[in-house]
Amino acid sequence: MSERLPYIRFFPRDWIGDHLLRMLTLEERGAWIDLLAIMSMATPPGHLAVDGKAMPDADAARLVGCDVPTFRRIITRLESIGVTSRTLAGIIYSRRLVRDYDRTTIYRENARQRWDHHDSKSPLHPPSEQDQNTPIPIPIPTPIGGFANCNANCNAKGQATEQRADFSTLSGMVQAIIRCRPEYACLRPASIENVLKACPPEHKAKLPSAVSAWCDEHSNALKPFDNPLASIRAMVRRVVDGQPSGQRKGFISDDERRRRRNEQWAREDADRKAKDQQP
């Protein structure tokens, strides 16, 4: 699967109506549209990078068509008014291009799964005799919660065995994120790795506990998040800001919410009985 955006979703009304872009000069707007085209073909997409590393100013200035001092002045201006952003590693990126790439990746994977399912039932590809005699495996659903401790899976004898999630390695954290909800199975491991790699080295020790808390939070949620990659970026940002668990402030689990609701109902019943007993 290609790592580049197949196209850029450019809306003239948004380009003309954005007040931040209208604050730029003609030279700065021209450099920004060139940077958008360059970042759409970069790796990772939407970032001014080469193979995951920040592109040198001299190379970026050569691609835009200006000298290095002019390029640095334009980038400073773009950052000062909030047109562009930087990752924790200092790589310039476009927020909209990153969102479009994440959305395109999810849509593409969902379409591929639908077409695979359609082709398996198509009369042009009838199942063979071996396929008809092969029993259809019944998937075992992943238990909700408990990623901080273990995952309970069943072996061939039906006995429960403990398979602990490995949060000590980057690949283990990526697999734990993908397995925390069935809806996240279409996420690309490379995209998750790029987000986790953006964590500065001095904060990487806090990342396993933050990922564990993130998996527990999402597996216990009533419905999946619309953009889990954006939630992972927010989790990494919270780790850098000094929140050890990486969990949202004010987060209340479903068990705690049920306990508070039952206590409220009990208080209301007690107040109602007390009123009924009054003369």
pLDDT exceeds cutoff 80 at 15 = yes
Report residue 151: phi and psi, to 5°: -115, 130
Quick check: 48 and 60 in contact, CB under 8 A?
yes
Model confidence at 169, in pLDDT bands (50, 70, 90)? confident
Quick check: 99 and 227 in contact, CB under 8 A?
yes
90: tokens are: 């200092």
Model confidence at 133, in pLDDT bands (50, 70, 90)? low
Q: Alpha-carbon distance 42 to 151, whole Å? A: 38
Structure confidence by residue, pLDDT tens digits, 38-66: 998 888 888 999 888 899 999 999 999 99
218 exposed, middle or buried (CB, 10 Å; 0-12, 13-18, 19+)?
A: buried
Domain spans of the chain, in order of start: 12-99, 151-241
Average pLDDT, integer, range 119-131: 52
**What's the predicted TM-score (pTM) here?**
0.41
The string of DSSP codes covering 111-152 is HHHHHHHHHHT-TTSPPPHHHHHSPPPPPPPPPSS-TTT-EE
Average pLDDT, integer, range 191-211: 83
Integer CA distances (angstroms), 173 to 8, 142, 212, in order = 31, 16, 8
- For the domain spanning 12-99, the CATH number is 1.10.10.10
More confident residue, 38 or 4: 38
183: tokens are: 């809806």
Residue 47 three-state SS: strand
pLDDT exceeds cutoff 80 at 163 = no
Kindly state the helix (H) or strand (E) to which residue 153 belongs, with its residue range: strand 151-154
227 exposed, middle or buried (CB, 10 Å; 0-12, 13-18, 19+)?
A: middle
201: tokens are: 């080295």
Quick check: 20 and 83 in contact, CB under 8 A?
yes
- Per the rule left: phi > 0, alpha: psi between -120 and 50, beta: everything else, 264 is alpha
